[in-house]
Chains A and B, each alone.
Chain A
Amino acid sequence: AQSVSQHNHHVILSEAASLELGCNYSYGGTVNLFWYVQYPGQHLQLLLKYFSGDPLVKGIKGFEAEFIKSKFSFNLRKPSVQWSDTAEYFCAARTGAGSYQLTFGKGTKLSVIP
């Protein structure tokens, strides 16, 4: 069965620090990849997604992610975090062969200290 691993449970950063959250998936075939964010008290929102093409994907609020097929990874990055980025971040994967199911990682909680 497909699985998604997020290596960091809780990350604490100071404002202006750079962010990289790790995500690895286990499926060997075509895969669609997503990063979602859940701000405190808010809906789960889509940050960015990768289906095909340029492996460097840009999303909202200055986030980007790089798909590295050889490493089965889809890490999320932001060069300079703000206090408002405090949230929980979820990586998700869907196999590309007509599947509807998303498999989520366990999430990474990001706390940004002003």
Chain B
Amino acid sequence: DGGITQSPKYLFRKEGQNVTLSCEQNLNHDAMYWYRQDPGQGLRLIYYSQIVNDFQKGDIAEGYSVSREKKESFPLTVTSAQKNPTAFYLCASGGQVSRETQYFGPGTRLLVL
């Protein structure tokens, strides 16, 4: 988990604004993930990417977008279409082999002004 960095730690969004959360890993993992954590809801998958230039929607992708131009980086954009963006966002990475464990970053807390 020490090989995954997320920035910023806190992010404030104004109404109608798009914001981008950064996730970088130096674990040489092929797969990367974005989760949203809300109190009492556990973690819910937003998007995941198995390899560079490829990504798939998770369970709650509406209002979010991602890109995967580099193996190390998987930024998440919270668009103005996401009506309830206040949450804790966790990035994770793992290998492509099915037995690989997912390792998590420290998270970004997004708040709406």
- Please tell me if the beta carbons of B98 and A107 are within 8 angstroms of each other in the complex: no
Contact between A106 and B40, CB atoms less than 8 A apart: yes
* Cα–Cα, bound, A92→B42 (Å): 10
Minimum CB–CB distance from B34 to chain A (whole Å) comes to 12
Known A-B contacts A43-B104, A100-B50, A101-B45; the reply to A107 vs B40 at CB < 8 A is yes
Query: In chain A between 83 and 114, which residues have their CB closer than 8 angstroms to a CB of chain B?
Result: 90, 92, 94, 96, 98-107
Q: How far is the CB of A57 from chain B (nearest CB, A)?
A: 13
Q: Knowing A32-B98, A51-B99, A96-B98, say if A104 contacts B43 (CB, 8 Å).
A: yes
Is there contact, CB below 8 Å, between A34 and B101?
Answer: yes
- Shortest Cβ distance from A80 into chain B, in angstroms? 26
Query: Interface size bucket, A side?
Result: 20 to 34
| Residues A43 and B43 in contact in the complex (CB < 8 Å), given A32-B99, A49-B101, A100-B31 | no
Q: If A43-B104, A46-B101, A49-B101 touch, does A106 touch B45 (CB 8 Å cutoff)?
A: no
Is B44 in contact with A104, judged by CB distance below 8 angstroms?
Answer: yes
